[in-house]
Amino acid sequence: MRASIEIKDASVTYYLRKSGKSDKVNKKGSVGAPIIVGHRYLEVQALKNVSLSLKNGNRVGLVGINGSGKSTLLKLCAGALAIQSGSISVKGRVSPQFALGAGIKPELSGRRNAELKCLYMGIPQSKVTDYVDEVATFSELGGYFELPVRSYSAGMRSRLVMSLLRLVRGDILIMDEWISTTDPSMNKTVSKLQADLIESSSIVIMASHSQRVLSDWTETLIWLDQGEIKAMGPVAEVYKDYHQWMKKRA
């Protein structure tokens, strides 16, 4: 499969209804995109004229301070957001890893949640049972897999979500942060799952605040600032400029 992502001059703006304190929203030196106070709405221009062309074999990392537009760019690639101007074309099946934890229903069992997730992730009906059994094994939840998720401890819930990684498949892997757990016994399994996913994907695009993760898993780094691409190039080079900029900013 020839996967590709072509983004040309794309901009994304979020709109928020104005409230009484709207005149105080812009503070110098704060993180995030500037907030434009319109007549009835506040506008947050999260991405500004972004162009990006990715093809098979590309492994790309996103860096930038909080609110610089990384998640917005990932959501755009995942088809979860509309653009106000420009164009985007995505070829290949997209697997957004960040969607995993969303929509877990506390009143349903781990098994039932895993089944629903399989269907949501587009796993064929005939393979659902096998996949769910794999999730059960990975999670090591034992009998708890059959109980409602509301009876889980926080760590058990996170085990269920991590094990759902097993369901992520596609040509284009979109990751918002490398997932790691607080339980070392689970961490190895999760890291292995993520590594396998990266290796089997045609295109990887990943945001992270960890230099180690991006250096290990990506070749090209995109530095976003206030919704614009400030630099794009080999990971070590872009990090050098980014760190210098951060020092000045501090």
Give the residues lining the site for ligand ATP (CB under 6 A).
14, 16, 32-33, 44, 46, 64, 66-72
Minimum separation from the CB atom of position 91 to ligand ATP (A): 24
Closer residue to ligand ATP (CB): 26 or 151: 26
Q: Which of 64, 72, 73, 77 is nearest to 224 (CA)?
A: 64
Tokens of 134: 């794999």
Q: What percent of the chain is helix, strand and coil (3-state, nearest 5)? A: 40, 30, 30
**Nearby residues of 99 by Cβ (< 8 Å), 6 or more positions away:** 78, 120
Closer residue to ligand ATP (CB): 190 or 224: 224
Minimum separation from the CB atom of position 66 to ligand ATP (A): 3
Minimum separation from the CB atom of position 142 to ligand ATP (A): 35
Closer residue to ligand ATP (CB): 167 or 206: 206
How far is C-alpha 56 from the geometric centre of its chain's CA atoms?
A: 19
Question: How many degrees, rounded to 5, is the angle at CA 158 between CA 218 and CA 59?
Answer: 10
Minimum separation from the CB atom of position 106 to ligand ATP (A): 24
Closer residue to ligand ATP (CB): 1 or 16: 16
